[in-house]
Structure formats: structure tokens, C-alpha cells
Structure 1
Amino acid sequence: MKIAIYGQNIGKKNIDYLNKFIGYACDHSIEIYIEKSFSNILSSFKEFENLDFPVISHYKELTKDFSLMFTFGGDGTILSAITLIRDTGIPIVGVNTGNLGFLATFNKDVFIQKIDQIFNRKLYLMPRSLLWLKTSILYDHKFFNFALNEIVILRKETVSMITIDVYIDNEFLTSYWADGLIISTPTGSTGYSLSCGGPIISPENNNFVLTPISPHNLFSRPLIISDHQTVHLKVHSRVKYYSLSMDTRLISLNKDNELSIQKAPFYIYLLQEEKNTYYKTLREKLLWGMDQRN
């Protein structure tokens, strides 16, 4: 078996868990590859100063013969990791050493207890849909055109609102006068969209959510559409550029750049403890039911 390990940072208090995990993998003759930047971070700790595993520095090195990718961090770490995984179908095991952890659902203590089940793939594999972006003007080739959580259009270098014309399958929907617009997957519905008043959608649904950001219209509300539809956007602004974010990645685009957004032709797969863990996660992370009356 061949596995990959990815992280963006790790605190000293979590080193022991990672050390136990690597020890287990070595004892079971599992091949370990570590993302290059994370390998450099680990080598700064005395426990890993003699770290001697092959590294991955480019997405092309993460081939389909890898069985699993383990991410150590929070949800942002997983969002960054998918730029390596792309369409390989390699499942992600998200070990939560961060804060919230909607995607990184394995608590580090539970992770160690479940390690045999994880490697034997006896847990539930949850597919997550992504957004796929096409633009009318070529953008930086280094900017990956897919997102697991959301695509966000935001005003840039101005305090004035922007106007976003929205078309659904070539039919005009409306023009949002707002600070921006969020197009979210069900996975991303508990992120930025939620903080702007958007609904929570369980990940097995085939939907997108359009959530305006601070709209200058009392009747502008989030809209749920089928993910079989294509969203086309035209942006009007008093300045030349607007901001576009895709998960954790941010660029500036010329306002003449129109956007077309649809469902990506592949999924990201997350290994989870059980099929219905999403609702348990909602209760725990959003503190649902945390009332003295309950």
C-alpha cells in the first residue's frame, strides 16, 4: 500500500499522534510519501529530524496507485490538498488538529483508535461534488479552476457595490447589487454562504446555492438550484478589476471577464466513520441542541 501525507502546519502537541501514525505505517510495510513543504516543517522537530521518506512536490507525482491521502490540520488543509488530488479519486482521511472540522472529521484520538479500520477501508466513503469554472479570458494557468466549497465574486479596490448579472442555463435570473456573490456546493454550505444567510444542505444533495453578499435589495435571498445547471455571470464595476476566490485561492480578474460555473466532472472522496456522521457533525460543530432545556 502507498499513502500520502499532507499538512500546512502542525503544533508540537500533535507531533505524538503523527509519530504514532508513521510508526504504525512503517510496522505494516506501508509506503509513505510526504508533501514537500510539510516534510520541511516536520524535519524542524527533533522527533523527525532524521525523516527519510520520499516527497511529493507536484500534483503529477500523486498518481492513482496511492490508496489514501492523510491530511493533518483543519478544513483549510483539505481544501488545499485537493489541488494535488484533483481527479485521481484518491480518498482523503482528514485528521482534525485544527478548530471546526466539518471536512476533517477524525478527531486525533479517534483517528489512532480507528487506524486499522481506516487502512482496511472498512469505513464509509463519501463523494463530494465540486464547482468547475470557465472564463471568457484566459487566466493564470497556475490557478486551478475547481472548488470544493465555493466560488466567490467580490468587489475590489472600491467601497461601491458591484452589479452581477446572473443567467441560469442562458436564462436571465436577476442582477444583484451587492458586495459580491457566493456560489456554493452542499459541502461549502456550512462555510461563507452560511455566514451570509445561506441554507445548510447535506452533501448527498445535487444542488448549488447562490448567496448574495450584503445585497442592496431587501428581497435578494439565497437561491438553491440543481447542480445540473450552468451559472453564467457578468460583473459590472466602477473599477477595472474584481476579486475571485475559489476555496482558499484568490485572484483578480478584469471586469470584462465573464464566468461560467457548472458541476465538475469528478468528485473528491472523504473517508468517514459512518454514513450519517454529517448530522452528528452539525450538532457538535454548530452546537445545535446546546440549550439547558435539552
Structure 2
Amino acid sequence: MQRKSIAIYGRAFNSSVVPYVQQLFSYLKEKDVLTYIHSDFYDFLKLQFDCPDDCLLYYNHQDLPNDILFLLSLGGDGTMLSAVSQVRDSGIPIAGINFGRLGFLASIHKTQISQALDAIFNGEYTLQARDVLQVNGSDRKIFGQDNFALNDITVFRHDTSSMITINATLNGELLNSYWADGLIIATPTGSTAYSLSCGGPIIMPGSGNFVITPISPHNLNVRPIIISAESELELEIESRTDKYILSCDSKSETLDTHTKLSIRRAPFRIHLIRLASDSFFSTLREKLLWGLDVRNY
């Protein structure tokens, strides 16, 4: 019988969660699961505890075998976003154990590791396909091969207190010239992140939409707008410093204003593992205290 195999990805974490990581590796050893660990993360783990020496290492997305069941992300939502670069368009699903604060994407609680993995290995889960955004520059390659975002792509002002002007064209037609601190283009996954804090709407995953949310616009009549995921958005930025910042989830670059941006849906989706107890609306109620009325408590 062929051994089950998974990949593990993570970033540096607080030493308080080391016992939970040790519990994870004890579980995987007991279940005889073949484990591939990202090399940088393995180097970190060896400094924290007596990490198993029979694990296999991988160095980038090209090293990941096609027959692994899923990639397990250890950390918070930021680590989950970074894990997207590990699987890319391979179709390998991602599950996340939450060592962070919010845990909107990394939905497995650190005290429920064994129960959650039992359910996954028994096939008691669903795969949720999430749209991804892709950005390209008019005169340069941006972010190398990591020019995609599960949450959002955002344009910010750079090194100035003055607002920038963002000329946005949607499918070849002028949408608006935003005079603001910046502009967020968010997926449904990212609609509960930065976009939400700037007044954007919550979008249910699978809705086939993106949302454009201005950051502190000078004209208060300019509101967030939901667009079809089939749309192509082009941005041209004007700034007093002739520079602006572009972020793509956790990655960022400083660009010259002569670099125009083209943003559209990526040609692949990311598949998140969701357990039976993990629904979108229960997550909204639990993590965002959605609908909570303190008068009832």
C-alpha cells in the first residue's frame, strides 16, 4: 500500500506553539505519512526542537511531487497567502493550521490538529475553489513568477503625504480617475481583509466578482464597485514623486509612474480544504463577530 504524502510550509513563529508542532509531527509519524518540508522552514524548525530527520525537503514549487495529497500551512493567514506561491497552478489543495490571530483562511485550530487531519485523511472535507488575481506591468515583469494574489492587489502612494491619481480603465472604457491614497482590487477571499477595513463589501466566495475599493478618496461620493471576474482592469498612476507602491498579497515593489498595470483573473484557481464544521457564514460570525449584539451577552 502506497504511503500517504503531504507537504508542509511555514514561516518563523512564536516558541509558544512549539508543543503543537511537535504534536503534529508525532501524529504524522504514527500515521506513517511521508512528509515534504520546505527547506527554509525546516532550518527554522531544527532550531526550535528535535525535528525528525527522516523528512524529505523541497526548495520551491518545482520540487513538489504531483502525488502529494495536500500542502499544510503552519501559521496565520499571512502564511496561507504565502503558501499560494508554493502550489501555484498545480491543483494541490491547501489546509492551514492557525498559529496566528484571526485565522480566517487558516481555519484549523491548533488544539484540533489530530481531529482535523483524521477528517482530511478520511476524505471528510470539501474543496473550495478560490479565484486569484494576476498583475502585469506595461514595461517590466513584476514580482517574477509570483505576480498573483489570493487576497488583493493594491496601489499606494509612495514617500509623500499627497494623494495620487489612479486612472482606471475597465475593458477599454474609462471607469474613474481616483484621487486617493490608493486603490484595492480584491477577490472574494480578500473582500474580508484590507478592502473591508476601507469600506468594501463582503463577497461570498464563488460569486464570480472582484471589488475595487478606494483608500481614503478625496471625493466621498466615490464608493467601492463590484465588477465581473471576467473584466480586465488597466491602471495608470500619477504622483508627485513619480513613484508608487504596488502590493500583491504579502509582496510589494516600488514602481515608476510610467509603468502601467493590467489586472485580470489568473488562469488558475487555488483550492482550499474546508471541513464540515467550517462554513463561510460561521466564520464571519466567529472571526468578524458578524451580527454580534453585545446586549444579548
Q: TM-score range by the shorter chain?
A: over 0.9
Q: Offset at 1:141?
A: 5.7
Work out the CA distance in 1 between the residues paired with 2:206 and 2:161: 38
Match of 1:224 in 2: 226
Partners of 1:43 and 1:51 within 8 A in 2: no
Amino acid at match of 1:284: E
Gaps of 5+ in 2: none
- Residues 1:11 and 2:18 are matched in the alignment: no
Letter in 2 for 1:164: I
Please show how residues 90-239 of structure 1 align to structure 2 within 5 Å. Answer: 90-139=92-141, 142=144, 144-239=146-241
Q: Which one is further off, 39-48 or 76-85? A: 39-48
Conserved in 1, the CA contact under 8 Å of 2:135 and 2:147? Answer: yes
- The residue type paired with residue 40 of structure 1 is D
- Over residues 83-133 of structure 1, what are the superposed CA-to-partner deviations in whole Å (9 max), with x where a residue is unaligned? 111001111111111100110011122232222111233211111110011
Amino acid at match of 1:26: K
Bigger mean CA deviation after superposition, 112-121 or 160-169: 112-121
Most deviating of 109-118 and 177-186: 109-118
Letter matched to residue 159 of structure 2:
E
Change (3 A) 1:276 1:76: closer
Normalised to the residue count of structure 2, the TM-score between the two structures is 0.94
Q: Which of the numbers 273, 282, 285 marks the counterpart of 1:283?
A: 285
Asked if 2 retains the 8 angstrom alpha-carbon contact of 1:124 and 1:275, the reply is no
Give the Cα separation in 1 of the matches to 2:49 and 2:96: 25
Q: Which of 18, 25, 32 lines up with 1:22 in the alignment?
A: 25
Mapped partners of 1:34, 1:242: distance in 2: 36
Shift in alpha-carbon separation, 1:105–1:199, aligned structure 2, 3 A: same
- How far residue 224 of structure 1 moved from its aligned partner, in angstroms, is 0.3
Contact 1:6 1:38 in 2 (8 A): yes
Q: 1:265 to 1:212 in 2, by over 3 A?
A: same
* Distance (Å, rounded) in 1 between the aligned partners of 2:13 and 2:54: 18
Asked if structure 2 preserves the Cα contact closer than 8 Å seen for 1:183 and 1:209, the reply is: yes
Alpha-carbon distance in 1 for matches of 2:231, 2:144: 27
Aligned to 1:2: 5
- Equivalent residue, structure 2, for 1:31: 34
Residue 240 of structure 1: CA displacement? Answer: 2.0
Equivalent residue number for residue 272 of structure 2:
270
SS of 2:253's equivalent in the other structure is strand
**Paired letter, 2:45:** L
Within-5 A mapping of 1:225-264 = 225-264=227-266
CA distance in 2, matches of 1:93, 1:121: 13
Q: Note the residue ranges of structure 1 that are not aligned, 5 or more in a row.
A: none
TM-superposed deviation, 1:31: 1.0
Distance 2:277 2:169 in 1: 35
Measure the CA separation in 2 of the matches of 1:141 and 1:155: 19
Deviations 1:10-33 (A, max 9, x none): 333322222222222223322101
Tell me: CA distance 1:47–1:276, structure 2 relative to 1, closer, same or farther (3 Å).
Answer: closer
Q: 1:219–1:233: structure 2 CA closer, same or farther, 3 Å change rule?
A: same
Per-residue CA deviations over 1:17-56 (Å, capped at 9, x if unaligned) read 22222222223322101111111111012332x5342212
Query: Stretches of 4+ moved more than 6 A in 1?
Result: none
Distance 2:161 2:143 in 1: 30
Give the paired residue count: 293
CA distance in 2, matches of 1:185, 1:275: 23
SS at match of 2:79: helix
TM-score (norm 1): 0.95
The change in CA–CA distance for 1:12 and 1:158 in structure 2 (over 3 A counts) is closer
Q: Which amino acid aligns with 2:283?
A: T
* 2:221 alignment partner, SS class: coil
